[in-house]
Structure 1
Amino acid sequence: MQVRVFYHDKCFDGACSASLFARFHRECVAAGATYEYHGLVHRAGALFDEAQFTGDENAIVDFKYSASPHITWWFDHHLSAFLTPEDHQNFLACQQDPACSQRKFFDPHYTSCTSFLAHIGETKFGFDTKPVAELIHWADIVDGALYESPEAAVEMAEPAMKLTLIIESTQDPEFIPRLIPLLTEMPLAEVLAQPFVAELLPPLMERHKAALELIRERSESKDGVIFFDITDHPLEGFNKFIPYYLHPEAVYSIGLSKSSFRTKVAVGTNPWTKKDGATLVNLAEICERYGGGGHARVGAISFPPDQEDAARVAAEEIVAELRARGNN
Structure 2
Amino acid sequence: MNKVRVLYHDNCFDGVSSAAVFSRFYKGHVDPGAVIEYEGLTHKAGQQIGDELFGEGENVIVDFKYSASDRLTWWFDHHESAFLSAEDEGHFRHDTSGKKFHDPSYKSCTKYIASVVQNTFDCPLPDLQELIYWADIIDGAQFLDAKTAVELKEPAMRLMLVIEASHSSELIHKIIRELQNKTLGEVMEDAEVRSTFEKLYALHFDSIEIMRGATKCTDGVIEFDVSKYDLDGYNKFIPYYLFPDSVYSVGVSRSAVRAKVSVGTNPWTKHERRYNLAKLCEQYGGGGHSVVAAISFKPTELDKARAAAREIAQTLRNDLKEGRG
Match of 1:191 in 2: 187
Deviation at 1:232, TM superposition (A): 1.4
- In the alignment, is residue 172 of structure 1 matched against residue 203 of structure 2? no
Once the two structures are superposed, the pairs formed by residues 248-263 of structure 1 within 5 Å of their partners are: 248-263=244-259
Bigger CA drift: 9-18 or 206-215?
A: 206-215
Residue 5 of structure 1 aligns to a residue in which SS? strand
Deviation at 1:52, TM superposition (A): 2.7
- 1-side partners of 2:244 and 2:228: how far apart? 25
Maintained 8 Å contact 2:262/2:293:
yes
Match of 1:313 in 2: 307
Deviation at 1:31, TM superposition (A): 2.0
Bigger CA drift: 63-72 or 161-170?
A: 161-170
Residue 127 of structure 1 aligns to a residue in which SS? coil
Once the two structures are superposed, the pairs formed by residues 169-318 of structure 1 within 5 Å of their partners are: 169-277=165-273, 280-318=274-312
- 2-side partners of 1:249 and 1:272: how far apart? 9
Match of 2:318 in 1: 324
**Aligned AA (2:72):** I
Residue 327 of structure 1 aligns to a residue in which SS? helix
Deviations 1:214-233 (A, max 9, x none): 11111111111000111111
Maintained 8 Å contact 1:40/1:47:
no
- 2-side partners of 1:214 and 1:69: how far apart? 46
- 1-side partners of 2:284 and 2:291: how far apart? 17
Deviation at 1:307, TM superposition (A): 0.5
Deviation at 1:324, TM superposition (A): 1.0
Residue 19 of structure 1 aligns to a residue in which SS? helix
Match of 1:63 in 2: 64
- 1-side partners of 2:240 and 2:99: how far apart? 39
- 1-side partners of 2:158 and 2:55: how far apart? 34
- 1-side partners of 2:47 and 2:214: how far apart? 32
- In the alignment, is residue 87 of structure 1 matched against residue 88 of structure 2? yes
- 2-side partners of 1:261 and 1:63: how far apart? 17
User: How many aligned residue pairs are there?
Assistant: 321
**Aligned AA (2:225):** D
- 2-side partners of 1:147 and 1:258: how far apart? 27
Maintained 8 Å contact 1:3/1:57:
yes
Give the TM-score, by structure 2 length. 0.97
- 2-side partners of 1:72 and 1:6: how far apart? 11
Deviation at 1:178, TM superposition (A): 1.5
Match of 1:120 in 2: 116
Deviation at 1:195, TM superposition (A): 0.7
Deviation at 1:236, TM superposition (A): 3.1
Deviation at 1:261, TM superposition (A): 1.1
Deviation at 1:148, TM superposition (A): 0.5
**Aligned AA (1:312):** R
Maintained 8 Å contact 2:288/2:294:
yes
Deviation at 1:276, TM superposition (A): 2.4
Match of 2:157 in 1: 161
- In the alignment, is residue 75 of structure 1 matched against residue 76 of structure 2? yes
Residue 67 of structure 1 aligns to a residue in which SS? coil
Segments of structure 1 that go 5 or more residues without pairing to the other structure are none
- In the alignment, is residue 15 of structure 1 matched against residue 16 of structure 2? yes
Maintained 8 Å contact 1:135/1:184:
no
**Aligned AA (1:217):** G
**Aligned AA (2:57):** D
Bigger CA drift: 42-51 or 199-208?
A: 42-51
Match of 2:140 in 1: 144
- 2-side partners of 1:237 and 1:34: how far apart? 30
Maintained 8 Å contact 1:61/1:113:
yes
After the TM superposition, which segments of 4 or more aligned residues of structure 1 sit over 6 Å from their partners? none
Deviation at 1:112, TM superposition (A): 0.4
Maintained 8 Å contact 2:23/2:180:
no
Deviation at 1:253, TM superposition (A): 0.3
Match of 1:109 in 2: 105
Segments of structure 2 that go 5 or more residues without pairing to the other structure are none
Maintained 8 Å contact 1:236/1:260:
no
Match of 1:134 in 2: 130
Bigger CA drift: 42-51 or 200-209?
A: 42-51
**Aligned AA (2:320):** G
